Amino acid sequence: MSNNPLLKFDELPDFPNIKAEHIEPAVTSVLEQNKQALAELTADEALQRNPQWQTLMGPLEDMEDRLSKVWSTVSHLNAVNNTAQIREAYNKCQPLITAYYTELGQNRALFELISALNAQAESLELSGAKRKVLQDYLLEFRLAGVDLDPEKKKKFADLEAKLSDLTTKFSNNVLDSTMAWSKHVENLDELAGMPEASINTAAELAQSKELTGYLLTLDAPCYIAVSTNADNRALRQEMYTAYQTRASDQGGHNPKFDNAGIIVEILDCRAQLAQLLGYSNYAEVSVARKMAKSVQRVNEFLEDLISLAVPAAKREYEALKQYAKKEHAMDSLEAWDVAYYSEKLRKSSFDISQEELRPYFPLPKVQEGLFTIASKIYGIEIVPNQQMSRWHEHVQAFDVCRDGALVARFFFDVFTREGKRSGAWMAECRSRRLLGDDKVQTPVAYLVCNFSKGSKEAPALLSHNEVTTLFHEFGHGLHHMLTSEIDLRCSGINGVAWDAVELPSQLMENWCWDKEAISLISGHYTTGAALPDAMLEKLLLAKNFQSGMKTVRQLEFASFDFKLHQLAGPYSQAIVNETMSGVRALTSVYAVPAFNRFQNGFSHIFAGGYAAGYYSYKWAEVLSADVFSVFARTGVFNQETGQKFLNSVLSKGGSDEPLELFKNFMGREPSLDSLLRQDGLLK
């Protein structure tokens, strides 16, 4: 067992030597150790008489960190290197992890120890961060059913186990359905209008499969290239249909990947969990942990934004229809036409397109500029680390330093490939904490995107939208890496309310729209020439192009999620579909085909952490727009402002309520006006 690379807790993961067969033994070993340590802790009579932070929370933190080091590595490999063997091992261990945390949350003896420590927090002069950790712990106990009678505890645990299994199946079905679909194209004429780089990537993929011509997939870069640029309307329709029906019984997909029934089961489990805890619905459970605090407040927030955004979106769509009719003789637009003609309208209105910008945003230049921007704002230095082991040849690793001292590390895995989950995210590899020997554990982050890796002719060339995605994830990474907290449960993003966790990521996107910042992240991939002033002006002028339509799209997702989780159950496929239809009636400005099954691939809420919380993106956008208004006023590279944000919010993690941290920086509560002004929606 000592040779198991997953159990080398004092080192970073040795990825080349981690095999699927290491996973189950490592997980079971740590769980057994933790359960034994927990039993000894709760049986300690001296601790029961006089609980102290170091003697109670110290061992608990050791247990949590040990398990996190194993499971975060396993979860990461399952997401970025999803082989059949790794998936099987992950699926075997997921129920064990769920059962462990359910038992922990329902451990009455531990709850009473932490309650006793919390009761004397003031007399012990515990820091505000430690008090917040204790309060968060006690809330988690209650939301895990610690107060339930034994019969209800058993039912709660069974529901949690079932829910864990269902969400894993949902995620696997989306990945498998996506990977199973491809379209082989032999005639280049069928790809007319598509960017040369996308065509080259499709040709290389076909060649790798020993096929002639071109191979199209549902990976995001390929799907976006077709839907936005392909002149072939039938191809756009085929790709739209395939993408929007993933993991469903529509679109010709394998029915074994259909998530419709799984969605119903997931929702029923959540509703039953809520009712066991004494809540009316799962939305109430969700907001108990969040900055918003109440279901009514979230509903009012979404309703306010819908009322402001829908009129603008309707005007934008009417303009799109008129343009398509006048310039392209299109009497009616279908869903698969919207992105295509929107891009043509952008080009017509601003003489700029995403594809024209790509040559000026080669990944190496964007990455270099991103690091420079972070350095200017927060006084850090980012340098390559060639010694850290990697799970794929395309992965990069870096050290983050301040004043010559190492403060964090991170991995960059930004290219799409087979066996890798779609989307973009940040995840924890290691979290900052004070170790027993008074050393501080260095935080380490995984930063993951899914860009095309480029071709023999050119490096990866990013659209401006992809640049903002990279900045977004890096913002999450900074939140994790630049924390100053030393208690595991509040360092980095730990303990941060889910509707505030997007603040640093949304904030970083703003530098993608600043002239001075763009000069650092752009340069032609062949000549190094700066983005011409004329193109830069057009890019900035086009910033709020169809901002109303973009906003209502996000509000559609958020409202569907939140309305769905306010129902008491039992659920049915009809209820899910009717909820989606009802939301679209309020938010959509064009008809969505009846076969559309977006919800079947909505991993954020059915397999991620955003259940009854997808509104968090817009909620945090209000916060980030407000914060950036200060940078805009004082200078986007003003280190005094950057240091104040770092000290007030970014480094504080979950050590205080997010509203208090926000007010420490802004001096007031959030205002919707900054976001409306930023998006061009303020009247």
Angle at 347 between CA 540 and CA 362, to 5 degrees: 60
Angle at 496 between CA 494 and CA 501, to 5 degrees: 110
Provide the angle, in degrees to the nearest 10, between the axes of the packed helices 84-105 and 150-180: 160
Cis peptide before 570 (omega within 30 of 0): yes
Catalytic residue among 473, 485, 502, 509: 473
Distance CA 52, CA 120 (A): 9
CA-based end-to-end distance of the chain = 65
A 10 A CB-CB count for 149 gives: 8
Contacts 24+ apart (CB under 8 A), 279-282: 280/568, 281/565, 281/566, 281/567, 281/568, 282/565, 282/611, 282/612
| 168 and 75 Cβ atoms separated by less than 8 Å | no
Length of the chain: 683
Output the six-digit token pair for 224: 């976006």
DSSP class of residue 442 equals P
Could you tell me which of 663, 589, 607 has the C-alpha nearest to residue 630? 663
Residue 387: CB partners within 8 Å, gap ≥ 6?
Answer: none
Output the six-digit token pair for 652: 């504080």
| 491 and 485 Cβ atoms separated by less than 8 Å | yes
Output the six-digit token pair for 203: 């040709």
Instruction: Return the exposure string of 503-541: e unless at least 16 CB atoms fall within 10 Å of the residue's CB, then b.
Output: bbbbbbbbbbbbeebbebbbbebeeeeebeeebbebbee
Distance CA 214, CA 187 (A): 8
Distance CA 398, CA 674 (A): 34
User: Which pairing describes strands 405-415 and 396-402: parallel, antiparallel, or unpaired?
Assistant: antiparallel
* Residue bearing tokens 């096929």: 211
Identify any residues that bridge with 183 across adjacent strands, giving them in sequence order: 216
Output the six-digit token pair for 89: 């091992």
Cα dihedral across residues 358, 363, 366, 370: positive or negative: positive
Which amino acid does the sequence have at 237? Q
Phi-psi map region of 465: left, alpha, beta (phi>0 left; psi -120 to 50 alpha): alpha
Determine whether 418 is an active site residue: no
Instruction: Return the exposure string of 387-396: e unless at least 16 CB atoms fall within 10 Å of the residue's CB, then b.
Output: ebbbbeeebb
**Cα Rg of the chain, angstroms:** 25
Instruction: Return the exposure string of 629-649: e unless at least 16 CB atoms fall within 10 Å of the residue's CB, then b.
Output: bbbbeeebbbeebbebbbebb
Output the six-digit token pair for 131: 């008090």
Distance CA 127, CA 119 (A): 14
| Cα–chain center distance at 613 | 12
* Residue bearing tokens 């691939």: 601
Active-site annotation, residues: 473
